[in-house]
Structure 1
Amino acid sequence: MPIEHLIINNKGEIMSVKITKGNKSYLSIASVISKGLSGKLFGDKAYISKELFHQLLTNGLRLFTNLRKDMKTYLLDIQDNRLLNKRSLI
């Protein structure tokens, strides 16, 4: 079953899209579809990875995801928290 990976901007416009087979790693796709972008990137728990976070950060992107139960909590800016909760736009 194909899986869509989609990046939109704050206006809901599509910035990047990639359709892959279900067995392809989300982490390998994230760096490909975010190439050339900068700013903040909000994703689901499938994108949680320290390696991906640091890779995107060096490319000018800050990755935000919801936390797993076993992760330490951290404070988010109110605007970032709203954007993380609007991930359902996609």
Structure 2
Amino acid sequence: MNLRLAAAAASPPEHRFAVFDGTTRTAPSLNGYIAIVDSTPLPVCHNRQIRSHKVFKELAKREKSSTGWFYEFKLHIVIDDSGNLLGWTLIAGNVDDRKPMKQMCEGMEGLFIGDKGYISSKLFKELYEHGLKLITKIKSNMKNVLMDLKEKFF
């Protein structure tokens, strides 16, 4: 076992429970840098075993994604432009991607790039008031709200 693993085992990271049936860990402020936020599903079991599955029965939830139905958790992460992990949240699979965003980015500042799962004018305005600028691909029927021309091409 190398020294990094031994040190990590000796002092586990501080966790605080999220409102969304998971845990959250965040890093210090970005100080105006660029960060990327995204989520990925973490399936708990195969669809055929959902009714008999018992380990995460109270925490994991069913969710339909672009590839089908899953009994899963969702892992949301925030990384900086160097690939360093700044924050993460593990939530139930049926929770909207936008819900943990404010809590996960608490205490950070800067430019956040996300996919269409984070589109919300209300979320954009709330984050903007706290020094965060969220950039997502805009739908064709959406107005350009507080976004520079160069940011539209990200």
TM over 0.5, yes or no?
A: yes
Whichever residue aligns with residue 75 of structure 2, its letter is E
Structure 1 length-normalised TM: 0.78
Equivalence for 1:62 = 133
Tell whether 2:80 aligns with 1:9.
yes
The residue that corresponds to 2:149 in the other structure is: 76
State the alpha-carbon separation in 2 of the partners of residues 48 and 38 from structure 1.
19
Instruction: Work out which of the two has the higher radius of gyration on C-alpha atoms and give 1 or 2.
Output: 2
More strand by share: 2
- Using a 3 Å threshold, how does the CA distance of structure 1 residues 8 and 49 change in structure 2: closer, same or farther? same
Q: Secondary structure at the match of 2:100?
A: helix
Kept in 1, the 8 Å contact 2:118–2:136? The answer is yes
Task: Name the CA distance, whole Å, in 2 between partners of 1:38 and 1:23.
Answer: 28
Counterpart secondary structure, 1:2: strand
**Distance verdict in 2 for CA 1:75–1:58, change over 3 Å:** closer
Contact kept? 2:137, 2:152, Cα under 8 Å = no
| Equivalent AA in structure 2 for residue 11 of structure 1 | S
5+ residue gaps in structure 1? Answer: 85-90
1:69 Cα deviation from its structure 2 partner: 3.5
Identity of aligned residues (%): 28
Query: Following the alignment from structure 2 to structure 1, what is the Cα–Cα distance between the partners of residues 107 and 137?
Result: 24
Q: How far apart, in 2, do the equivalents of 1:59 and 1:75 lie?
A: 18
CA offsets per residue over residues 11-34 of structure 1, 9 Å max, x none? Answer: 110000011111112221100101
* Higher helix proportion: 1
2:106 paired residue number: 35
Conservation of the 8 A alpha-carbon contact between 2:108 and 2:132: yes
Return the alpha-carbon distance in structure 2 between the equivalents of residues 7 and 81 of structure 1: 20
Q: Distance in 2 between matches of 1:76 and 1:22?
A: 35
Is 2:70 the counterpart of 1:23? no
How many pairs were matched up? 81
